[in-house]
Structures are given as structure tokens and as C-alpha cells.
Chain A
């Protein structure tokens, strides 16, 4: 199975800050990498697909980059409503696997 390692596991930042989360795959997954946001008690929401494509309707402050084994998710200017846990997910190989999550809090 492909292991997905996110860092950090938790992050505290201030409103307006630039926030970056990384995701590393245990093998080359090309750009087959998606990012999700999960707010407490809710289902996850797709934000970014294929490493860098913003899902329609998602604010442009969210972005993603990378290919191969190393990926980055960025919030350019943190907003209070961005408090959530963020997950990466690969679909290069079955089983599809998720990172362990990054919990984002407001400082």
C-alpha cells in the first residue's frame, strides 16, 4: 500500500497568515493527489484534485502543488472558517489511501 505522510499533524496560525501543509507519498504517484477539508462533525469536502486543480466553487485562497512524491497545500490568507482538519489522498494505486490529517486551529 502507498503510505501518505502529512506534516504537521497540527498547526496553529493567525487570521491572515499563509498556511502550508505537506504530504509525502511512499512512492511516485504522479499527480494523483487530492486534498479534502473536514470540519468537526461533518463529511469531508473536496478542495483540490489532481494535485493542483481547484474544485469549482472553492475559494481561490486554497491551492495545491507538487508531483511525484512531494506535495504542498496552501491557504494564502487564513480565514476563521478554515478551521478544520485537512487530508491528502492518493489514487495512483488501490487501496486509495489518505494522510493522517492536519488539524488547523486559530491562534
Chain B
């Protein structure tokens, strides 16, 4: 069964750090680009970052550039998002998602993990 499961969310103070993880199963993880997408409470979807299948190429939204780092461990079938210098506006549900081959459509999503930045 193709599945993505996020973990690592929680409550953190402004300026703090958090590392999200996404465990993949049921498919050849190393063959796919992966992305993080977030959704603030009651708001729409915002793409955050993506990483190529090998991990050699990463892109970020301007809103997180310089603060967030995406990475992956293909041996562990895992995707990560290191979030530093967190701000209140980073409060959101964070989803990991698989890029469908050849289209950059997000065809498989995790259930999401909530990150709350508050003092």
C-alpha cells in the first residue's frame, strides 16, 4: 500500500526549531521527487519546498528560504524538513507529497502534521 506518514509536529516558540519527518512505503521512494506543502488554519494550500529524487536539487518558497531545509534519506525511505527561526505565520498543517512522475502533480499525500508557533 502506497503511503506517506508525517511526524514531528508540535508547539514551538517563535524563533525555535522543529524537524518534520515523512516515512514512505509501498513504492520506490528513491525514484520520486518529493515536496512539502502546508496549510494554515482555515486557509488554502501553499507549496513550501521540493527535492529531487537523488537529493541533489532543492527549491524553496520565498517565505521559507534561508530558514527551512529539505532533505531525504533514500536508504531509510524518509523525507525531512528542518525548520529554523520559526514564526507565527509558519503555523500550519504540513503535508509531504509525492510528485507524480513527469507531471509535478502531487499524487500521494500524507495525513499531515500540525506545527504551531506560539509563545
> Interface residues, chain A, CB within 8 Å of chain B?
32, 34, 36, 38, 42-46, 49-50, 55, 87, 89, 91, 94-101
Contacts and interface: CB of A to CB of B under 8 A. Distances in A.
Given A43-B95, A46-B100, A99-B44, A94 B109 contact: no
A38 to B, nearest CB: 8
A87 to B, nearest CB: 6
B59 A91 contact: no
Interface residues of B, number: 20
A87 B109 contact: no
Contacts, number: 57
B105 interface: yes
Contacts of B74: none
Contacts of A96: 35, 47, 50, 104
B47 A95 contact: yes
B100 A101 contact: no
Given A44-B106, A49-B105, 13 more contacts: A32-B104, A42-B111, A45-B109, A46-B105, A49-B107, A55-B107, A91-B103, A91-B104, A95-B59, A96-B35, A96-B104, A98-B46, A99-B44
Contacts of B110: 43
Contacts of B104: 32, 91, 96
A46 B105 CA distance: 7
| Most chain B CB neighbours (cut-off 10 Å) among A42, A46, A50, A97 | A46
Contact of A49 (B47, B50, B59, B100): B100
